[in-house]
Chains A and B, each alone.
Chain A
Amino acid sequence: QVQLVQSGAEVKQPGASVKVSCKASGYTFTDSYMHWVRQAPGQGLKWMGWINPSSGDTNYAQEFQGRVTMTRDMSITTFYMELSSLRSDDTAVYYCARAKQSDFWGRGTLLTVSS
């Protein structure tokens, strides 16, 4: 069965960086792009971008351009999303979600940005 297991909650100071992981299993790693979506407390969902696991090509939402980096490690079937220059409004739950229709989701990683 498809599983996306995300790393644990993080607390960071403003200006720092965070790297969230998403370990994929139960399907062929290179068959599906991985998307990242975030949700601020009490708010809706916001798409951040995707990564092609075969080529490593990425496509980021303009809002996050220059601050986000999505990567993957094929040897351990794991995806990563790194966000830099953190601000308080980056406080949110970050989800990885498989494929453009997002048929499977990780449980989310809570990032708290606070001094």
Chain B
Amino acid sequence: EIVLTQSPGTLSLSPGERATLSCRASQSVSSNYLAWYQQKPGQAPRLLISGASSRATGIPDRFSGSVSGTDFTLTISRLEPEDFAVYYCKQYGSSPYTFGQGTKVEIK
């Protein structure tokens, strides 16, 4: 089973700042099948990025994903008020699919 470790656990930033979220896999993720989701309280997760770097339909271009080996990064270039939420990564390259534990982006 691939273990995904997200860091930091909490990120305290101000609107307009840049957010960098990390997701490290315990082993190689097949075909870089790594997705990022945003979840707000009381809502279902929303797909932001799939395939490590492809933005989902309707996702603003301030969200971007990248990969280097087994290290995956989600970058939010300039935080908007609606971006404060919890973010999860998930690998879907091999079964069982696994999620990271989440990073909370909170208003500083």
**A101 and B96 form a contact (CB under 8 A):** no
Shortest beta-carbon distance from B101 to chain A in Å: 5
Interface status of B47 (Cβ within 8 A of chain A) = yes
Q: How far is the CA of A59 from the CA of B98 in the complex (A)?
A: 14
In the complex, how many residue pairs between chain A and chain B have their CB atoms under 8 Å apart?
Answer: 52
**A105 and B98 form a contact (CB under 8 A):** no
Q: What are the residues of chain A within 8 A of B51 when measuring CB–CB?
A: 101
Grouping DSSP codes into helix (H, G, I), strand (E, B) and loop, the B interface class, with mixed when no group exceeds half, is: loop
Question: Which residues of B19-75 have CB atoms within 8 Å of chain A's CB atoms?
Answer: 33, 35, 37, 39, 44-47, 50-51, 56-57
**A102 and B99 form a contact (CB under 8 A):** no
Interface range on chain B (Cβ under 8 Å from partner): 20 to 34
0/1 string, A32-71, CB within 8 A of B gives 1 = 0001010000001111000000000001011000000000
Shortest beta-carbon distance from A78 to chain B in Å: 18
Q: Which of B44, B46, B47, B98 contacts A101 (CB 8 A)?
A: B47
A46-B99, A102-B35, A102-B45 given; name 4 further pairs at CB < 8 Å.
A44-B100, A95-B44, A102-B47, A103-B47
Q: Which 10 A-B residue pairings sit nearest by Cβ, starting from the closest?
A: A105-B44, A101-B50, A47-B97, A100-B92, A45-B99, A61-B96, A103-B47, A44-B102, A44-B101, A101-B35
